[in-house]
Structure 1
Amino acid sequence: MSNFAIPVKPEIPKEIMDKWQKIVDLMAKIVGVPAGLIMKVDPPQIEVFISSKTEKNPYHKGEKANLNTGLYCETVMQKRESLLVPDATKDPNWDNNPDIPLGMIYYLGFPLEWPNGEIFGTICVLDYKDNPKAIAFNDLIKEFKTIVETDLDNLLKNYELEHEKERLKESERKYSLLFNRMLSGFALHEIILDKNGIPCDFRFLDINPQFEAIIGIKRKEIIGKTVLGVFPKTEKYWIETYGKVALEGIPARFSQYSLEFNKYFDVSAFSPEKGKFATLFLDITGQKKLEERLKESSLIINTSNIMLFTWKNEKNWPVEFVSENVLNIMGYAPEDFVSGKVYYSNCIHPDDLSRVFQEVKKFSEEKDRTEFIHEPYRIITKEGNVLVVSDWTFIIRNSEGIITHYKGIIQDITEKKKTEDALKQSEKKYRELVENANSIIAKYDKKGTIISMNEYGLKFFGYTEDEIIGKNFIGTITPKIESTGRHLDDFLLEVFSNIEKYPQNINENIKKNGERVWVLWTNRPIKDENDNLIGLFSVGTDVTDRKKAEDTVKGLNETLSILNKILRHDILNDLTVVMSACDMIQVDDQRLKQKATKAIMKSVSLIEQMRSLENALVSEEVLAGKSLGSIVESVVNNYPHIKFSIKGDCTVLCDGAIYSAIDNIVRNAVVHGKTDRIDISIHEKDGRCELRIADYGKGIPLDIKDKIFEEGESFGDTRGSGLGLYIVKKVMERYGGEISVEDNKPSGAMFVLKLKKA
């Protein structure tokens, strides 16, 4: 005997069966299984009531099987709860299940019940294999279950409504009993007409308890009153529709939204006598919401970056189905593919097409293969843009095992691929930098504890990782007091506290063996998501040899400066005395006196140039932004007898040596070039400041033009030491600039100085 005693229930009408057919077809398609079913129990058998129209579905509508034979659905109906069987072949409880010989080893099903709780049957999906992704659609299948049970509920209620009409006519007693216990809301009304005989309102004559429950109003508050008197927001549509039923006697069945109650109602209206009408109605708001949710699910798919394709197993893979969002992603309308106007293979990037074909061929030749995932490949949109996609393809075979179709889930992963490639490249560069760097790379927390150090740094300081990680850098790799006497503990704590102020610092460090070294540290802060400092990232370069060389050069510069000062002070004073003595000496040979005076003047000039050379080579003055126009104006004031033309201005990085450099060029033009006119222009060019000094004198001989900036080169009738332009060149090099010379037209020379903008 079966446990499923079912009373006589109404036949399922064709429109509902058609609706359920669409549901199981959609369910099988979305879940990706060969079989989606609605089973109906009719003891002692169970029937395949609705079967999905999908490939490889072994179940056919109308097929019946005996109960108590170990079917999956029997367990679902007995326990009245869902059942998931991932692989029945691994569970001996299903050894006698008649579904296993059909190959259906995977099962996910839910019970279907009539409104009164009696079992109708099941809704389920089955597969030839374990289908892990199907469980992700558990809630969707439950929604389909709710829709079917709602239809059963409505069907039963409608069935009862029809019988209620007959019973009302049979007897007042039966009418009263049914009236008070029916599941639908019921009301009897009389229509109210205006002076022109047009329905304008209606009055409540009677209502049942379910009416009170659905509408939320008590009987005593409504009987004898008009609808507009009780519910003033009632739409005109209701009065017009009911007026037609009451006056013409034609029954009406419709579903309509009520603004007054913010609900959807399924309504049946009929006229027991002219001028009156009765209504039977159900609150179908829940069902409407479920339908809307189904629409939203479709909308989600069609607004995502995932396209669904069904291809025929033919040349160029003609498309049989494609989701609507292909228009948004690829620019083609679905009809372009389905009509054969566009083939999917023509959209695959030419450089990837052969590989994609080979992957399809390889996996298709595996007889047991039902799905595969391509390596990402590129497709070309209608607009010519290149997208990177992932492709999860399902193989569809007919009953003879021949592949008829492929179904694909194509996802646009272009941005994801770009991000992944950029991240991989960044990680690669970072690894190469850390692993191959000939620099110390270390991380510290905000207290100075060493968090990590690269291999080069460990070898440099002579520690193993275990010896140094977790130790404070002061006292391990940094002495508390530098050999210069500077207290490094205070200084480096200041660096940690004001990292933006100290992007770089040089300090003395100490190796494990006690050797003192100098390291140039480049520092970057490490911050948390709230922009709080949590540590320090430092890259260190050993500059010990450079520091020693700098100290040596500094000492030599100081010595050179002292010698130069002696030269300029003592010898220059002596030459001044000699010059004065020459003026007072009376000699007959004035040429000899002039020769001696000229030699003294040359020595004085040479000493002055030595000072300029010192400024050019070893100046400790900090470069700063200065107006080049103002500097030029200051220089030309020393030559009142020369005609100058000055145009433009620019702020450049320089120090005091720029004055003597420009003066040197101007003095050469006047003294050696014999010019009486000089044009000076200043302008920006290629991101730098360009100063052009053009004279109209003798110019520079062709044979020395290429050597004019070399030490000792001179020209003109009054040849100098040859140091002037050499000093100018050295000044420009110290500024990071350039100097060159050109011929001026029609005569003379043009010196071009290029300096960095401030």
Structure 2
Amino acid sequence: MKLPCRIIIMTVLAVAATAMFAAIFSLQQIYREAEIQSRLEMERCIKTFWEFLRQKGTPVRLADGKMYAGDYLINGNYELPDKIQQIFGGTATIFMGDIRVSTNVLKDNGTRAVGTRLVGDAYDAIFKNAKPYRGEATILGKPYFTAYDPIVNPEGKTIGVLYVGVKKDIFLAHYDELRRNVAGAMLAVVTICSILYFLIILSGRRTAAVQKRALDFLQELIDSMPNPVFYKDLDGRYLGCNKAFETYLGISRDALVGKTVYDVAPPEIADQYRVSDNKLFNSPPGTIQQYESRMMDADGAIRDVIFYKSRFSDRYGSEGLVGSILDITEKKHSETRERSRSEILEHIAKGRPLADILDVITMAVEREKQGALCSILLANKEGTRLFHGSAPSLPDEYIKAVNGTRIGKGIGSCGTSAFLLERVLVDDIDTHPYWRNFLPAREAGLRSCWSEPILSSTGKLLGTFAIYHREQRSPGPDEINLIESAAHFASIAIEQTETELALKQSERKYRELVENVNSIILRMDTNGRVTYFNEFAQRFFGYTGDELIGRYVVGTIVPDEDTAGQSLAEMINGICTNPEKYALNENDNIKKGGERVRISWANKASLDEHGTLREILCVGQDITERKRLQEMMVQTEKMMTVGGLAAGTAHELNNPLGAILQNAQNIIRRVSPGLHANEMAAADIGIEFLKVREYMDRRGIIEMIQHIDSSVNKAADIVANLLTFSQKSPSIAEMSTLSEIADKAISLAAADYTLKKKYNFPNIDIARDYAELPKVPANSQEIEQVIFNLMKNAAQAVADNYPDRTPRIVIRTRIQNRYALLEIEDNGSGIKGELIPRIFEPFFTTRGVGNGAGLGLSVAYSLVVNNHNGQISVETAPGEGSCFKVLLPLEREK
């Protein structure tokens, strides 16, 4: 039966309309998909960028006009942007404020765009609206797909921006090429159809032979279309198709005509086709149907396709449909591959276990290639054997068989590939010589194996990636690309894992060394804030790391001034600006509880790659005890020197003092009444003795002589004290109870009162705080003298007390290591720091003339140190009172 001209016209128009609609829709879909992919890619990329940045340290902060992630300097450091570019391609930037400080965005001259500013919609979103920005942006005059996130400090202030992007023209290059190809083809089809339509109208009344030729020409026109085209009647029987459809399904046109979809497709897919056809026939005329489905090709493979269908009808009312097919299998594969790629990179960026990452890689390939069984083997350090890394679908017995495979030529596909460092493709395991002696592969039903070596960025063997099949197979170009890509991602994962492992091991060894060393180790930035504080330092100072990190050293572990009045704040500032000048220094430090200690510090500058001072490493040793012993040695030597002088002086004074005292006493005797010799001597010269006595009394001569006598006695006491101070007498030590000695000394001190001394023991609150102590080897009289002298010294100090304080003295005993500790603490006026080194010197006193000879503390020092091998020291501060500490050995000296 000959088709009328009208049917031909309708068919031509339907084909042209369908082709045009398919082209337009496909381009729109591809463009939208490209935009969606760009957004997804940017999200994945910036998420990975955040992961890398957080791994460097938190929080992100500004200091000295620079940006840091923890201790990691960002300014001028291009490691992270370049790492993002290596993994994702495209560009990445870290802004400090709105200025690029770390970037791989390039200027026109090829240099990095450091110092350029963020402008446009992204700037407004970040700094005006405090929101992230996603979308197109112009960077240095070029359009980019971009993602910007604000960088916020712990106080909630936006201090910078994190950016990733890719040039729009690069990302859409594939789309542009496809758009040109499709548009050209569709333009040709529409042009031809328009010409054909015009010719058919002119020849509408020609003979059947002419119509036959026109119909043949139409078929040739349809055959020239690259996409498969078909047309069916209302009952779903095929009326015809083009050559592309024949090739696609592997069926001739003649064999196709009269068949239904149930004859050419699996039932579950044919059902979907039939439902869609019925829906189209029930739609209004002019409806163009489009939907995504699957189709079995000539090789029996299930392909992903998009159908474009439209209705047509002739003048007799017969209806049918015409449709075209767009194969999107590769597009689907690309999307799947891209999702897998992003998943793999995300796992790598988050530092997931290597085994998990390798499983993601192998399963991604298996999802893309049905029937593929993937394996990753890892090379040992020696490069001699391959061990199991991932094989989610291979039998367990086979995995055990290949675990530990020796690397060498002819040892399977993987052993040979690892040996040759090149791809090895075996399409038939049963016959290939590399597999001749390996029965487990045959037992596992494996027939082909393609192996790719996994190499590091330096060419070092890391392992192998292999694809197995259960039938003889040779790889196509897309499978070669797939295996190369999988090996590349495995290389990134393995190398990254090895790098992180090496870094963690290095950090662990360094941390173990730093944490276990018995030294104070801290780092501080150029503002004097602590950035690191090792465990020993935490135990020593009493602070936890969290309590001190980020705080200034001055005011925490360093006082504003030392005991000599030196400004330590100025010294710390000097260390922060010029650490080489302060490479070694000693200064006072303060523990959390307020105890002052002396630390010897070694300071080392830490510079970044540009030579800029980044922080200062400080290593300290506690020299408090050493300094105390040094001061004690100096004090002892001083005392020995002074003691020698005092001894000589005492001996020299003893003789004239003795003569003065003796003659003074004789003078008093010879002017005393009642002595017969005195009266006889006066009578012999004619003088009345009582008159002489009266004269001397009136002139105060007797009182003068008595004053001479008392002064000489005082001088004699001083000489005796000098001798006590200067001579280490053979003190007789007995086992004594320290608290009993203290009580006796308190009783003696309480009786020592004169108005001239300005203190009164009954008005002083004296507290006893005695611990249970064993008896100590001591000369009780000498220790009693020591306590008495210290009590008198304390009483004089509290006499100068402030009106709002009750005068108080505390006597305390404790055990301290191998010593008995005796403390005498007062709340008096305290001692100035510059006077402390001199308080144990003979004759040194802060009191005026007539208020003591200044020998009390020096005698106490001599009795404790020289006679008892003990120690005596003082803790004091002006206005804070004083605490004298006496340490006496618990055991006799051997």
Larger radius of gyration: 2
Larger RCO (alpha carbons 8 Å, 6+ apart) = 2
Is the helix fraction higher in 1 or 2? 2
Q: TM-score, normalised by structure 2?
A: 0.26
Q: TM-score, normalised by structure 1?
A: 0.29
